[in-house]
Amino acid sequence: MTAKQPVFELENVSYSYPTGTKALESVNMKIYKGERVAILGPNGGGKTTLLEILDGLIPASHGSVKARGMILNDATINSNEMYGFRRKVGFVFQDPDIELFSPTVYDDVAFGPLHLGIPEEEVNIHVERALNLLGIEEIKNKHPYNLSGGEKRKAAIAAVLSIDPEIILLDEPTADLDPSSRAELIEIINRLNHNGKAIITATHDVNAVPELADRVYVLNKKIIAEGTSQKIFSDFELLKENNLEVPEVFKLFEVLQCFGYNCEDLPLSIDEAIEHLTRAVEVNGGHIHLHIHKHTHEEIGKLRSKYEHH
């Protein structure tokens, strides 16, 4: 069996700002084709800087960065070698206004294909396909200024999808979205992954991580930990030290445990919660049994203290 080849491979990557402040330190990471990976960390932990390095926008100060077999450094990111790379890697910025600057959404979505030299007669095909994937055909003639937050986010993703990349980098994609737009965006991102695209999401939205990633890196200038969502969110000390919390669903099931609910691996998302509760009801003859035992109040007190809820 042929070993999977990484689409990104970072070895001892560090980055310092011109002021000398260190943003990243000795980052080692491998990301493979078609993966869903989350870069989870606090604000100021280096997530955006890491994505900029992965996208070839800035070179690492130290260490080695390989992207799809190509070395990204000072020389290559300013060379003609980047043409093929730009066709395969797309970056959706946290602030969609950075990407939306044309008179219409259509023009913004067409910008990438035109500037990558795709023949004009093919550009419309690329644009319409991207608009259809995001379900935003009806806003293509609108000025980006007149869009809602959710529409702007989808337009920015469409602008990246118009070049049909293999890898999509997302910086805080759920930030500032209302619950409906957030849920819709997560569904779209996962549909793109199902169609074969590698999705790398930088976020501090702990509730989104279980729905957006199969593997998680915790980044706080350094890689602090790596593993599944279940592994990462089960390590309370790790999260506390890096100013992160657990998903709200996880907390709910911790409360249920205080009332005697038997749950070894706590659910991290609504889908996992439904699956777990359904299984529990089926096993217990159509019921879930909760009760107050002699340690219930003590356990609830410890739980409140754990999350500093006073």
For 32-55, write each residue's pLDDT tens digit. Answer: 999 999 999 998 999 999 999 999
DSSP 294: T
Q: Where in the chain is the domain with CATH 3.40.50.300?
A: 6-241
Query: Of 3.40.50.300, 3.30.70.1450, 3.40.50.970, 3.50.50.60, which CATH number belongs to 6-241?
Result: 3.40.50.300
At residue 310, the pLDDT reads 34
At residue 3, the pLDDT reads 59
Q: What's the pTM? A: 0.90
DSSP output for 173-225: TTTT--HHHHHHHHHHHHHHHHTT-EEEEEE--TTTHHHH-SEEEEEESEEEE
**Is residue 1 scored above 60 in pLDDT?**
no
